[in-house]
Amino acid sequence: MKYALLSVWDKTGIIPLAQALNDNGYKILSSGGTAKILKEAGLDVTEVSEYTKAPEMMDGRVKTLHPKIHGGLLGRRGKDDAVMAENGIGPIDILAVNLYPFKEMSGKDLPLDELIEYIDIGGPAMIRAAAKNFKDVAVVIEPSDYEKVINAIEKEGLTYDDRKYLAAKVFTRMAAYDGAISNYLNSEGRTVPTSYTVQFRNGRELRYGENPHQTAAVFGDTGIAGQIPLQGKAMSYNNYLDTDAATGLLREFDEITAVIVKHNNPCGVATGDSLHEAYLRARDVDPVSAYGGIVALNRKVDSDVAEELASTFIEVVIAPSYTEKALAIMKRKENMRVLILPEETDKEELRTIDGGALLQRTPKITQENWEVVSERDPTPDEIDAMKFAMKICKHTKSNAIIFADKNSALGIGAGQMNRVNSAEIAIKKANFPLKGSVVASDAFLPFADTLETAAEAGATALIQPGGSIRDQEVIDAANKLNIAMIFTGIRYFRH
């Protein structure tokens, strides 16, 4: 007799699988809610408790933890047959199990004594047993694999490679499942966990890393990591980095916005009444750097924007959607990668270092701690421009100095070892008049020199975190120059 054991939390597709097993000579074992819906579908099912002669107990905590179940999964065909026969253990050839959704439920603010009931015990024990014995047992944990199993049992059965593939999925799933529990329990009552487990799936090899002599891969099936171009060449290591940077900045804005990034720094950011207007403004901030850049847009791309994108060299375009005409236009640039902007994922920033990793979480920008420290209050337009500039500052490599008005970046100085040089670069690169602009700094001004440089270029307001021992010197300089200045209390170093 061939046995299949089905016990699933997610019931998607389980009835067609059970029907195919029934039709192909398998006796079905099942328990709990799975057995109930299979019986309601008219399928012949034997309850696990009937098969083991042991009742479910402890509110279902113990139901499949039995030698007849685990012996049937772990028994080596041709080696353990006598022991199995002596103990009345039948071989279980196919196991379909998926687990209690601990990670999903942990996001629902349940009390721990309730959440702990979503830590699956019987399911992991069974799938680990079956996966260890994949030479003889097929274990399927994802409904997306049911069709593969059905096709196989209706033909010549699952091959060794099929069973090995399915077994590997088990250990991948268990690593993530146990990691989620570990992360939760190690985080309770703490700002960060004492131990941290992370898993990325869907690994794909890239042509090379940042440079041709470096090997590289990308992992992930959601967010930017999971994106496959609608057209164009395959994504490169640098493309993924820059697209992630551009998207992170773009998501700071609700209004119609275009962001252009080059080498992980914004080189153009603008809003507009239309996407076409916003893109042209962003491109004109620094047209030389925009060449070969990454363009991120937060509205549907129509033909007018597509024509502009196709008129120059762009590595990647990412937007929520595209008209058919826009896609046809962009096909003229056969190497240009065109991506769909995905839903934002909850992500912790993780960076590897020698011997370990760094983890951080970055909250959204707020005005909660903003304080006017100058004698002159900023005007409403200056306030709007400061909000705009600080969003860009947050996503620009330190030291960052941003000149802006309320609709566009005007000059961007990034990645310098001192703040004055960043200001000088921003001024030098500006393609628009800076008179009446505002300036944002990602960290405090240790001296008045940056403010004086900005004022000389035409800036009338400045926003910075504050916190220097020389804050008063800088405030005095602002008052002398009639500069409106705000302290935010929040620093945005980006390394």
- What's the chain's length in residues? 495
How far apart are alpha carbons 36 and 33 in whole angstroms?
Answer: 5
The candidate with the shortest Cα–Cα distance to 172, out of 143, 206, 227, 131, is 131
Query: In whole angstroms, how far apart are CA 102 and each of 80, 175, 491?
Result: 35, 13, 36
276 is catalytic: no
> What number of other Cβ atoms are within 10 A of residue 433's Cβ?
11
Q: Which helix (H) or strand (E) holds 476?
A: helix 471-480
| The pair of three-digit structure tokens given for residue 435, joined into one six-digit string | 């008179």
CB 134 within 8 A of CB 95: no
397 is catalytic: no
Which of 132, 169, 233, 331 is flagged as catalytic?
132
DSSP state of 43: -
Which of 11, 36, 103, 263 is flagged as catalytic?
263
E strands within 309-355?
314-319, 337-340, 349-353
CB 447 within 8 A of CB 470: yes
The candidate with the shortest Cα–Cα distance to 246, out of 228, 233, 264, 221, is 264
Beta-carbon contacts of 158 under 8 Å, excluding residues fewer than 6 positions away, are: 138, 149, 152, 166
Instruction: Tell me how far the alpha carbon of residue 457 is from its chain's centroid.
Output: 40
Which amino acids are annotated catalytic? 132, 263
